[in-house]
Amino acid sequence: MKSIFDFTAKQMSDAFEEIGERPFRAKQVYEWLYTKDVHDFDEMTNLSKDLRAKLKATFASHYLDIVEKQVSKDGTTKYLLRLEDGGLIETVLMIHPYGKSLCVTSQLGCNMGCKFCASGLLKKQRNLTSGEMVNQVMTVSHDLKERISHVVIMGTGEPFDNYDNVMNFIYTINEPKGLAIGARHISVSTCGLIPGINKFSNEGLQVNLAISLHAPNDEIRSRLMPINNTYNMDDLRVAISNYIDKTNRRVTLEYILLKGINDEVTHARMLAHYLRGLNVYVNLIPYNTVIENGLEKASDRKIQAFKDELIRLHINCTLRKEHGGDIDGACGQLRAKREGRMTDNEN
């Protein structure tokens, strides 16, 4: 049964016409779902009993099951959610001064194989539907009894490997008469799938693009990220430049600092040289250790020296505040532990 959350406003209107209902009924349902936080068709009191019965027989509307919830002392909350087919996914709520941000998962497992990532411990089983992504937002918002103000598609999976569903998700949560999450409050992160970056540049959206770089040269990046063997850093730089030229939007580059691998001042200089002339900023990320991967977080001293060198070389950069360090905070940790692929002492 198709989920009611799979539809953008326009798609829902079309779907209602297909079952013999007038489009304004779709608008009523959309309002119940996204502005009134009501997902039970029986509680949609301005619909006839016959229509409610038809909707129950045609569409699924329940929220996802919350299997486990871990709450950090900094307010970060990691949810382990169960999908309709029994698959387990994670989504993470982060509290910022500017609002509540949700990190959404786009695939059940991941095939990108990044060496530092817990998500890759469990291989991709399938893409999530747009409705399963929307439902992560709805489930957490309902649990909180508060509105989610920002969404980052940076959870398990590669968003551009599930392009159409991810775009449908973005258009749904951005709908002004629905959740109305502003485009500039939505970010999508890719490990560097160039065809996806090129396609995304034509969407005409103000959505933020982040690219996982994590290395200053091909040798290190190929060790950390197998995708670099398909789309190397020179090609990626061209794609980034073309994206900026076409959209006039700045790109975020994510860089996890790993002890003894990419954390030296010389690496910062290589990175600055690579980025010269691009409208980007670098988001430096302290590593949330995953013991199975054999990688360690760079020291605070190395992290600060790396940041200082980028600033000296006129590269805009920030140091991400650590979230969820006292829980299974890294992407994929909680699910992998539940599936028996991790030990119990990651942090």
Contacts of the segment 70-77: beta carbons below 8 A, 24+ positions apart: 70/324, 70/327, 70/328, 70/334, 71/327, 72/323, 72/324, 72/325, 72/326, 72/327, 72/329, 73/326, 74/323, 74/324, 74/325, 74/326, 76/323, 76/324, 76/327, 76/329, 77/140
Instruction: Assess whether 15 and 133 both reside in one domain.
Output: no
Higher pLDDT, 179 or 347: 179
* CA 33 to each of CA 45, 204, 282, 314: distance values in angstroms, whole numbers, following the listed order: 13, 27, 37, 47
Look at residues 60, 78, 96 and tell me which one is the last residue of a structural domain. 60
pLDDT tens per residue, range 98-133 = 999 999 999 999 999 999 987 767 889 999 999 999
Band the pLDDT of 338: cuts 50, 70, 90: low
Q: Is 212 a known ligand-binding residue?
A: yes
- Whole-number pLDDT of residue 347: 33
Instruction: Give the CATH number of the domain where residue 193 resides.
Output: 3.20.20.70
For every residue of 186-230, DSSP letters joined together read EEEEES--HHHHHHHTTS----EEEEE---SSHHHHHHH-GGGGT
Instruction: Assess whether 54 and 154 both reside in one domain.
Output: no
Q: Is 106 a known ligand-binding residue?
A: no
Instruction: Give the CATH number of the domain where residue 52 resides.
Output: 1.10.150.530
Instruction: Assess whether 237 and 255 both reside in one domain.
Output: yes
pLDDT tens per residue, range 249-293 = 999 999 999 999 999 999 999 999 999 999 999 999 999 877 767
pLDDT tens per residue, range 57-104 = 999 999 999 999 999 988 899 999 999 999 999 999 999 999 999 999
In the three-class reduction of DSSP (H, G, I as helix; E, B as strand; rest coil), residue 237 is classed as: helix
**What CA–CA distance (Å, rounded) separates 322 from 109?**
24
Q: Which domain holds residue 163?
A: 65-338
Tell me the catalytic residues: 90, 331
- Whole-number pLDDT of residue 288: 85
What's the average model confidence in pLDDT over 308-326? Answer: 87
**What CA–CA distance (Å, rounded) separates 181 from 170?**
9
How do 77-82 and 65-71 pair as beta strands? antiparallel
pTM for this structure?
A: 0.92
Q: Is 103 a known ligand-binding residue?
A: no
Statement: residue 163 has pLDDT above 70:
yes
Number of domains in the chain: 2
Chain mean pLDDT for the chain: 93
Q: Is 55 a known ligand-binding residue?
A: no
